[in-house]
Structure 1
Amino acid sequence: MSSDRRVAIEPSTRSAAREQVVRWFSVMASNTADPVAGITRPSYGEGEQFAHTFLREEATALGLRVTEDAALNSYMTLPGRDSEAPAIMIGSHLDSVAQGGNFDGAAGVVAGLAALSMLRRHGISPRGDITVMGVRAEESAWFQTSYIGSRAALGRLSPEALQCRRVDTQATLAEHIRQCGGDPDVLLAGQPFLDPGRIRAFMEVHIEQAPSLVEAGVPLGIGTSIPGNFRYPEITVTGETAHVGLPRRFRRDALVAAARFVAQLDALWQRWEDAGKDMAFTVGRLHTDAANDAMTKVAGEVCFSLDVRAYDAADVARLHEDVLGIVATLQDECGVRFELGRQTQAPVATAASDIQAALTDLARSRGIASMPLASPASHDAAVFHEAGVPMGLLFVRNHHGSHNPHEAMDIDDFMLAVDVLTDWLLAQG
């Protein structure tokens, strides 16, 4: 493959790729539609399985080499001329949250396949392999642990993660992997399927998850970084169940303690914003004990989840200390006990500066408006960064955020991302 960026993809080839893209998204949406709203592709469930099977079949029809690993990640490869050359990988996840949108995650896999389809149609053979990776189980909503598929591929999935239970079925991750045809015993041994030293770069295309590009009127974002986080999926606050009329001085109200915890974290966030520092926290689930709560009872137990994230590892550590301090104070003030439970974490990741610069230049050369964009969300590219693989991110303008049925990525915007991605692949030789 020439490293000359002037290699052009013919309009008819791009038009055919656009038709494929529309069909791929349509088939996935119609076959993984949630009966209530949006789409649902549970990690190691029927919807995710359909998406992987469907896109692997489409990749085979394109003449790509298709494989999978013990965690059932999908690999769809355009072989290179030099078997010793390091590979370029493009990828994202194919699962979704319940009643989510059709583009979150899937856009990255479809973008990679569209780019390889155009290269194939032009008879272009890259120097090294170019592999599109369909990643399993990125959405931690299901097993309440991060980056399952990508960590498994790199031999970094902890044994404890295999015992996490899916929130709807209560079956373990190991059981779900085995039911889908994977081999959790291989994962337990920590044997990596991918060698980071053999990967030249990992590129991820994704819809934006806050409307920054919409606000700016710009179709593409050049990703700069991915926040790190710490999470407590199952925090329990235990107080004392009591009569609704109990005077305040006698109460050990678990719900009041949980509410004050949320309020104090929100006040902390405001202080960080006032200081010009970036962070975010989310309590995605908060509930009393459904078997014991009542309108005329003081809540004796409350459970909630917590995600806290920032763009600097030192900031993440500082925020963790702040959370522990808030917990200690509230235990004394409210007479309750906080049990934080299992903790998970994900690394801060920074896109490679040369990839950022190249994507910016390629977009500019096409007359495509772009802007630097730090992602507010987690992405599998962070795991590759942690493993020492240079990574890049391309974000596509998207109305209404993500993790809901109203994702509104325009296909024309998406194809601009595919154009830039394809130009970048052509420039790699």
Structure 2
Amino acid sequence: MTALRIDAGLAERLFEELRARTADPPGVTRAAYGEGEEIGHAIVRREAAVLGLDSAVDAAGNLYLTLAGRDPTLPGWIVGSHIDSVPHGGNFDGAAGVFAGLCAVEALITAGIRPRRAVTVMVTRAEESTWFPVSYPGSRAAFGRLPPETLELRRADTGRTLREHMAALGLRPEAVAAGEAFLTPERIHGFVELHIEQGPVLEAVGAPLGLVTGIAGSFRYRKARCLGRTGHSGAVPRGHRQDAVVALAELVVGLEAVWDALEAEGEAATITFGEVATDPALHAFSKVPGEVAFCLDVRSVSEACLDRIRDRLTALAGEIEARRGVRFDFGARTGSTPARLDPGLCGRLAAVADAASIAHLAMPSGAGHDTAVFAAAGVPAAMIFVRNQNGSHNPDEAMRIEDFAAGAEVLARLLADDSTRTG
């Protein structure tokens, strides 16, 4: 175990190549089932071939790179993450988990440590729901649990369906629709995903790593509208207005008050209006706006908390409609279920980090991750967060290579825990 060393130079080389080949100033763009994601998969396949790993791809295009274990009858480990990004995003979100898996396996091989169980580095598809309006389509498809109608969802930039994008890459959307499963829970000993922290907590407390206790679920309205009546800004008195923007502003303020009350009770949640816009073809300086489009993203690690917010949202909207003569059309609702991660596996990671004198903090994840799909399938699942200085989903994403190496070392030592030296 003392011979295990993470090759930080390997990681730096991979991150730099990925950044250079998927650059889209001011950041990087790796669209789900698009060119950037394909480049990432190709880089990982090449490096896995150098390490002598077995390679497989499932019907949805998830990539599996496996180091055989001593006992093929045992359920194996899966480690990894996604490699797609948001448009003009940062280079580390997702990719850090993939490269950590490769670096951990490389450390085992270099140290002459042969794992008792197989270790698979998995690269999932389409984790970032900015491309297709659905959570975790790649990892859900791996378990045969992606609803067939999901294949008809259209990518935000191309307008082409998920089915079309899969077929264009030579994948098998018909098998995905039929529920073909590549992964079965009983053949997985555990799943661990390393990921950059997407907020400021670890940097603030001075810890390089976080061990995630749970992953937030969500409900989302991506195409919501508030509908009022357009009027002349100078001619319609206040009492006669049906101002859609003012009505939406009241809804925003009302939900902020809901959030205040939840925090006072110790409930963790986030409420975000990420897009708000009047129609540029119709709005004008001298018009009372009759329509405003918006989206709403609500997250919490507690299903009960999500239900409370949703109920209050419905009540608030009704009150505002009655008072202001407007109508809220929230459109289709999407979302995901909160996931509680495996306490035993999290405890093992903590013990490994303690033994290596690596500081860590137990914390929840407010963002969604493929790990939630594994947990929902009954697989023991855990996450390692790596400190990040500038948040996530932006070009300024940051991560110190020594922090990355610490996370990859914890991962490698977990995998080596029941292994033997081969030489």
Q: How does 1:87-98 map to 2 (within 5 A)?
A: 87-98=76-87
CA distance in 2 between partners of 1:310 and 1:112 (Å): 28
AA aligned to 1:277 is E
Q: Say yes or no: does 1:39 pair with 2:33.
A: no
Q: Deviations over 1:304-344 (max 9, x none)?
A: 11111111121122222112112222221221121221111
Using the TM superposition, name which of 330-339 and 390-399 deviates more: 330-339
Q: Which residue of 1 aligns with 2:183?
A: 194
Match of 1:357 among 338, 347, 352: 347
CA distance in 1 between partners of 2:283 and 2:154 (Å): 25
CA distance in 1 between partners of 2:357 and 2:252 (Å): 45
Q: Which residue of 2 aligns with 1:303?
A: 293
CA distance in 2 between partners of 1:54 and 1:367 (Å): 32
User: Secondary structure of the residue that 1:408 maps to in structure 2?
Assistant: coil
CA distance in 2 between partners of 1:168 and 1:216 (Å): 39
Q: Which residue of 2 aligns with 1:3?
A: none
CA distance in 1 between partners of 2:252 and 2:139 (Å): 32
Q: CA deviation at 1:235?
A: 0.8
Q: Say yes or no: does 1:368 pair with 2:362.
A: no
Q: Which residue of 2 aligns with 1:105?
A: 94
Q: CA deviation at 1:160?
A: 2.7
Q: How does 1:49-60 map to 2 (within 5 A)?
A: 49-60=38-49
CA distance in 2 between partners of 1:347 and 1:206 (Å): 20
Q: Which residue of 2 aligns with 1:126?
A: 115
Q: Deviations over 1:55-98 (max 9, x none)?
A: 11111121111111111111111112222211111121111111
Q: How does 1:8-27 map to 2 (within 5 A)?
A: 8-11=2-5, 14=6, 17-27=7-17
Q: Which residue of 2 aligns with 1:4?
A: none
CA distance in 1 between partners of 2:200 and 2:160 (Å): 36
CA distance in 1 between partners of 2:225 and 2:10 (Å): 48
Match of 1:256 among 246, 261, 277: 246
Q: Which residue of 1 aligns with 2:74?
A: 85
Q: Deviations over 1:138-195 (max 9, x none)?
A: 1111112111111111111122321221111111111111122222111111221111
Q: CA deviation at 1:104?
A: 0.6
Q: CA deviation at 1:125?
A: 2.3
Q: Say yes or no: does 1:327 pair with 2:317.
A: yes
Q: CA deviation at 1:24?
A: 0.6
8 Å contact 2:300–2:306 — kept in the other structure? yes
Q: How does 1:164-179 map to 2 (within 5 A)?
A: 164-179=153-168
Q: Deviations over 1:205-232 (max 9, x none)?
A: 0111111110001111111111111111
- How many aligned positions are there? 418
CA distance in 2 between partners of 1:333 and 1:175 (Å): 46
Q: CA deviation at 1:10?
A: 4.9
Unaligned runs of 5+ in 1: 1-6
Q: Deviations over 1:249-282 (max 9, x none)?
A: 2211222222221111112111111222111111
Q: Say yes or no: does 1:244 pair with 2:233.
A: yes
Amino-acid identity (%): 45
Match of 1:181 among 155, 170, 178: 170
8 Å contact 1:347–1:383 — kept in the other structure? no
User: Secondary structure of the residue that 2:365 maps to in structure 1?
Assistant: coil
CA distance in 1 between partners of 2:340 and 2:390 (Å): 26
User: Secondary structure of the residue that 1:67 maps to in structure 2?
Assistant: strand
CA distance in 2 between partners of 1:175 and 1:244 (Å): 47
Q: Deviations over 1:388-426 (max 9, x none)?
A: 001011111110110001111100010000111111111
8 Å contact 2:212–2:362 — kept in the other structure? yes
Question: RMSD of aligned C-alpha atoms?
Answer: 1.3
Q: Say yes or no: does 1:279 pair with 2:269.
A: yes
AA aligned to 2:272 is T
